[in-house]
Amino acid sequence: MSERYLTDATMEPAKLTPGIAMQKVSIHQIANSSSPFGLRHKPPWQQRFPIRCPRIPQANLHYHKIVKNEYYGYPQEWFPSVSATIGDRYPERSVFQICIALTSGPRFMLVLLWYYLTGRPGASLPKFVAFVGVARTFLCGGWVYITSTDDHDWHDIFMISYLVLTLPWTLGCLATSPVNLKAVKYRKILASLFFGTLVPLIYFFIQHKVHKVPGAYTVYAFFEWSLILYDVGFDAVTALDFEGFELRLVDTKGGFNRGSAQMADVYAEDSKKERRPLAQELTNAFSWPAMIDTLSDVYLGFVFWSVLTSLGVVVWYFPLWHMGISGYEVAILATISPYLLTNSVVRKTVFSNLHFVYIGSLTTLVAFLVTTPEVRLFLTTTGLFFACLAWASDFSLGSTTNKLDIKTAAFSLGLIMSSVAKFANQTNNPIWPLMNAINGGWNKIGLVLTVLAIARVHFRQPSHPPVDTTMYTGKDGSKYLAAIGLGGLLFALHSLLSDSSTMITWVWDGYPVKGPLAAPHGAYTLLAMGGGFLIGLLRQEIATSPGFFAAGCIGAFFLQSFHGWWGYYGALVLTVYLMAIVPSFIQSCARYPPGSTFGTAFMVYNLLVLAHVWVVAYAFVPGGFLLRERTWLVMTITMALIGTGLSVIVSNTRGNSHIKSRSEYGISGVRRTSRSYFIYALAGLELLAVSIAYLRFPRYDYKPYHPEEKLVTAGIWTVHFALDNDMWSSERRMRDLIKEMELDVIGLLESDLQRIIMGNRDMTQFLAEDLGMYADFGPGPNKHTWGAALLSKFPIVNSTHHLLPSPVGELAPAILATLDMYGTMVDVLVFHSGQEEDAEDRRLQSLGISKLMGDSPRPLILLSYLVTKPKKGNYNTYVSTESRMNDIDATDWDRWCEYILYRDLHRVGYARVSRSSITDTELQVGKFVVGSGQQSTEEQVDEDEMREGLRFPPQFRGDGVRGHRYHVFDKPR
């Protein structure tokens, strides 16, 4: 621990424990807590399982240098990692390089023999497995011979690629294994150990890299070495399969007619005759046309979810500007278009021309070509109208053409693909109508791929509508129960799983980090979605069991009730359950007339969406008090509706004679031959998710703009939910202004986008990663606020989230964070007060914030939205002897909402920057020097007299750039 933290140990107690409730702890306690930024602490796993460092002689090769990492050395770290051992020092690394060279030949031979053992005419999977095996061997040589000392980036690329290819190698070997129970048993055990070890491996790597925990890298090294043992052991099991596999060297000149390779073929063929593959789905002859068909179906599923999730954020633009009900909300009724299928003429017309209905959904994808918000809303609504009609019809047709499983699998994988696309684009879907080429959209590519997918799926063969009188076999009495179950499921999928970080923000509780992060842990959500998809695809009897439903309810309870990892564990269980039941629920509804079932399902979905909005927008909607801050009630109703739909499925599977057999519902040969391609598609999406998680892994090496001056540039900005005045996503425009203003700290208000009406987005991910800043999302979406976020170039040592008193109006969020600014602990408070109409709320909130500021013993900056006039009313509570706060510019009378207050810092400058068309509120910026020992005065000086490092950026003088300029005073003060 550095000396500066030791000298702070005598400071007064401070309110720094994370959570809504405040507790007093000292700086010394902080320095020994689980701070993620270099302060000494002992995490729970070290307290429970202390790892004692063995005594090592001082001069044994390069031991002390090999165990040393960028943070710690011996004795905190005492066991070397694989990379350090094989790459850092001679002669240690030579031993491993020689061993790899000696084993490369046997490794290539193993791959070759495995191909001879498992290959057969027409089977593509053994060839694929052989290719992966060869590629892994070369990659192994890459990370061994190109060491981290030689080239750290290429070493990591080879290492990660090797680990990624381990998944298809392992699954491929299991899928093509001969019937050898002992070998299969050992393979499953070793594969489970290998992939199970990745979880603690990643955990301890994060403890080392992010939290800088002493000794964490040593524990990580043990798991890293164990991976090698499991990997080698998995391949060593092939010895059991090769027991009956004989190779002969034959002298062809001695009278034999066959060479050694030909003899190997003969004996391998004899061995293959005695076996059957364990995973028949994966060993069927591979067909590229079938794979393209599958990818086309999945992509259309992705387009459906993209269109569905885009409507909420497009509709939200209008009540946002009207500050209440605008009338445009009626657009959400576009989803109930399946009700039209109750008319037999419409039904037959749609069934016969389904490809044209899918083409109608393209209107959403061309909306980006239009700049007028109202027209874009109309096009988005029209596209969703046709999309819901098309998929409801496709599900109904699938129940009679033995292709329902194909459509349900494409529907589920489309959701996963949509979440992966948002994971790759920091929660924005690249084909949404609020995206374009300027702000990161891929709209043109998405449109072209959609046209190709529709052409592939719907023009390869004509549609043949079934006869209305014989196609539906369900009882009329339970069709509405099945429909409301599907409606509850659709809402759960959209509200919780349409973005991989939504449930992570539910359980986020500030710093020190005690739970998952959006990146990289969003990949965990995507892996859980894939696991649920496989259960639903292969074992629907498990998915629809009462015990599994109970597990899903427990997961929902944990998500709703706990923060940190325990809440996220519940989220993962709920994720698996929701994805697993998708096929069963759709198949249940497809047995009934599509109009009444799918139309009702989407109507229930719409009602839940409104309830989902009402819990936070209660101050602006009729009857809002009924659902005010009752997310738990919405969650309970959702699970109850899902349980109702499940009861229909369970009752229908108990031997009712009117139900078709399993083979008639798509569990026949069509499903068996097609589902393997969906597994391939899932594997590709999951590998992509893992790769994205690696690329987005936070670096945490951020630096302020002017450390030579010990300068802090802080700003406050109400960002209007990352929608600009023309209904485009505004993160990149915000990024540009924040970067060019050289902001070290910024508070963002109206920043919680993790709701259906905001698109389940998170602007802090893009801004933090692109600008190189630490981020605190603030109170999560289950805290029922409009959001407050904090971005900082300085390490966030500790942060607490607060909900200020709001007996009448909307909840007021606040973040109190302690930042390490050049060795000095400084508090930053980000706060958004209530509405002008709720005077008592704002009075109580001013008292609460004043107390928070007064109780803090450290220098403090308030970045706030106060809704008051300078020197009047509640202003005198914020700036008072109790709070000990100063106004950054008491002479600035032209303010109403945004204020910057401070204390115990040297104020350097103050500026107000116009918003352009990004939002409806300006950006206010203050400059402070930390630890200067000087006192601020009201004396104004010309900026040219200031040192260059203390000045504001000059490009915003005069007319400015991109519509941003210094206004009100026309220049900084």
HEC string for 176-190: HCCCCHHHHHHHHHH
Q: At residue 462, what is the residue type?
A: P
- Under 8 Å between Cβ of 773 and 763: no
Q: At residue 886, what is the residue type?
A: N
Extract the tokens encoding 389. 């009609």
The whole-angstrom separation of Cα 380 and Cα 334 is 10
So what's the pLDDT on residue 214? Answer: 79
Q: Measure Cα distances from 468 to 344, 410, 458 in Å.
A: 8, 25, 21
Q: How far is CA 377 from the centre of its chain?
A: 27
How does residue 261 score in pLDDT terms, banded at 50, 70 and 90?
very low
- Under 8 Å between Cβ of 1 and 39: yes
183-187, 424-428, 444-448, 726-730, range with the lowest pLDDT: 183-187
So what's the pLDDT on residue 167? Answer: 77
The whole-angstrom separation of Cα 276 and Cα 265 is 18
**Residue 789: pLDDT over 90:** yes
So what's the pLDDT on residue 94? Answer: 63
The whole-angstrom separation of Cα 520 and Cα 606 is 32
In the chain, % helix, strand, coil (3-state, to 5) comes to: 55, 10, 35
Q: At residue 922, what is the residue type?
A: E
Q: At residue 545, what is the residue type?
A: S
The whole-angstrom separation of Cα 120 and Cα 548 is 40
Q: How high is the mean pLDDT of the chain?
A: 82
Extract the tokens encoding 115. 């191909």
Ordered by start, the domain boundaries in the chain are 92-281, 287-691, 707-956
Top CATH class of 287-691 equals mainly alpha
Catalytic residues: 832
**Residue (of 882, 881, 883, 946) closest to 910 by Cα position:** 946
How do residues 626-659 score in pLDDT, each as one tens digit?
899 999 999 999 999 999 999 988 887 765 544 4
Give the residue, 532 or 22, on which the prediction is more confident: 532
So what's the pLDDT on residue 256? Answer: 40
Give the residue, 51 or 400, on which the prediction is more confident: 400
**Residue 265: pLDDT over 60:** no
* Residue-by-residue DSSP string for 629-667: T-HHHHHHHHHHHHHHHHHHHHHHTS--TTSPPGGGGT-
How do residues 199-248 score in pLDDT, each as one tens digit?
787 778 777 777 777 777 778 778 877 777 877 877 777 777 676 666 66
Positive/negative CA dihedral, 199, 203, 205, 209 = positive
**Residue 792: pLDDT over 50:** yes
Per DSSP, what are the bridge partners of residue 912?
924
How do residues 96-135 score in pLDDT, each as one tens digit?
667 777 777 777 777 777 777 777 666 667 777 788 888 8
So what's the pLDDT on residue 147? Answer: 67
So what's the pLDDT on residue 471? Answer: 56
So what's the pLDDT on residue 130? Answer: 80
Mean of pLDDT values over 419-442: 95
How do residues 688-722 score in pLDDT, each as one tens digit?
998 899 889 888 889 999 999 999 999 999 999 99
Q: 184-202: b or e for each residue (b if 16 or more CB lie within 10 Å)? A: bebbeebbeebeebeeebb
774 by DSSP, 3-state: which? strand
pTM of the model as a whole:
0.77
The whole-angstrom separation of Cα 304 and Cα 80 is 50
How do residues 932-957 score in pLDDT, each as one tens digit?
665 566 677 777 788 888 999 999 99
Please compute Rg for the chain using Cα positions.
31
DSSP 949: G
Strand order through the sheet with 923-929? 774-776, 788-792, 745-749, 711-718, 923-929, 906-913
So what's the pLDDT on residue 269? Answer: 45
Cα-based angle 842, 844, 849 (whole degrees, multiple of 5): 90
The whole-angstrom separation of Cα 825 and Cα 814 is 19
The whole-angstrom separation of Cα 564 and Cα 327 is 39
Mean of pLDDT values over 309-314: 95
Q: 345-378: b or e for each residue (b if 16 or more CB lie within 10 Å)? A: eebebbbeebbebbbbbbbbbebbeeeebeebbb
* Residue-by-residue DSSP string for 275-335: ---S-HHHHSPP-HHHHHHHHHHHHHHHHHHHHHHHHHHHHHHHHHHHTS--SGGGGGGGG
- Under 8 Å between Cβ of 404 and 395: yes
**Count of other CB atoms within 10 angstroms of residue 473:** 16
The whole-angstrom separation of Cα 644 and Cα 659 is 19
* Burial class (CB within 10 angstroms; exposed 0-12, middle 13-18, buried 19+) of 94: exposed
So what's the pLDDT on residue 488? Answer: 96
Percent of the chain with pLDDT over 70: 79
**Residue (of 199, 189, 167, 179) closest to 117 by Cα position:** 179
**Residue (of 595, 573, 556) closest to 476 by Cα position:** 595
**Residue 59: pLDDT over 50:** no
How do residues 554-604 score in pLDDT, each as one tens digit?
999 999 999 999 999 999 999 999 999 999 999 999 989 999 999 999 999
Extract the tokens encoding 960. 């400015």
Extract the tokens encoding 187. 């393979």
For residue 54, say if its preceding peptide bond is cis, omega within 30 degrees of 0: no
Give the residue, 48 or 835, on which the prediction is more confident: 835
Mean of pLDDT values over 353-357: 90
So what's the pLDDT on residue 393? Answer: 92
Q: 482-513: b or e for each residue (b if 16 or more CB lie within 10 Å)? A: bbbbbbbbbbbbbbbbbbbbbbbbbbbbbbbb
**Residue (of 910, 502, 914) closest to 733 by Cα position:** 914
How does residue 475 score in pLDDT terms, banded at 50, 70 and 90?
low
So what's the pLDDT on residue 193? Answer: 81
**Residue 735: pLDDT over 50:** yes
For residue 512, say if its preceding peptide bond is cis, omega within 30 degrees of 0: yes
So what's the pLDDT on residue 276? Answer: 40
- Homologous superfamily of the 707-956 domain (CATH): Endonuclease/exonuclease/phosphatase (3.60.10.10)
Give the residue, 86 or 310, on which the prediction is more confident: 310
Q: Which residue has the tokens 């949509």?
A: 418
Q: At residue 221, what is the residue type?
A: A
The whole-angstrom separation of Cα 223 and Cα 214 is 16
So what's the pLDDT on residue 494? Answer: 97
Q: How far is CA 15 from the centre of its chain?
A: 31
The gap between the terminal CA atoms of the chain, to the nearest Å, is 39
So what's the pLDDT on residue 3? Answer: 33
- Under 8 Å between Cβ of 675 and 683: no
How do residues 273-284 score in pLDDT, each as one tens digit?
333 443 444 545
Cβ partners under 8 Å of residue 938, min gap 6: 890, 891
**Helices (H), ranges, 796-938:** 839-855, 875-878
The whole-angstrom separation of Cα 954 and Cα 948 is 11
So what's the pLDDT on residue 473? Answer: 58
The whole-angstrom separation of Cα 449 and Cα 428 is 19
How do residues 748-764 score in pLDDT, each as one tens digit?
999 999 999 999 999 99
- Under 8 Å between Cβ of 556 and 548: no
Q: How far is CA 406 from the centre of its chain?
A: 27
How do residues 126-140 score in pLDDT, each as one tens digit?
777 788 888 878 777
**Residue 162: pLDDT over 90:** no
How do residues 853-907 score in pLDDT, each as one tens digit?
999 999 999 999 999 999 999 999 999 989 999 999 999 998 989 999 999 999 9
Cα-based angle 351, 357, 359 (whole degrees, multiple of 5): 145
Positive/negative CA dihedral, 28, 32, 35, 37 = positive
Cα-based angle 204, 5, 701 (whole degrees, multiple of 5): 50
How does residue 624 score in pLDDT terms, banded at 50, 70 and 90?
confident
Mean of pLDDT values over 505-509: 95
The whole-angstrom separation of Cα 354 and Cα 391 is 9
739 by DSSP, 3-state: which? helix
How does residue 47 score in pLDDT terms, banded at 50, 70 and 90?
very low
790 by DSSP, 3-state: which? strand
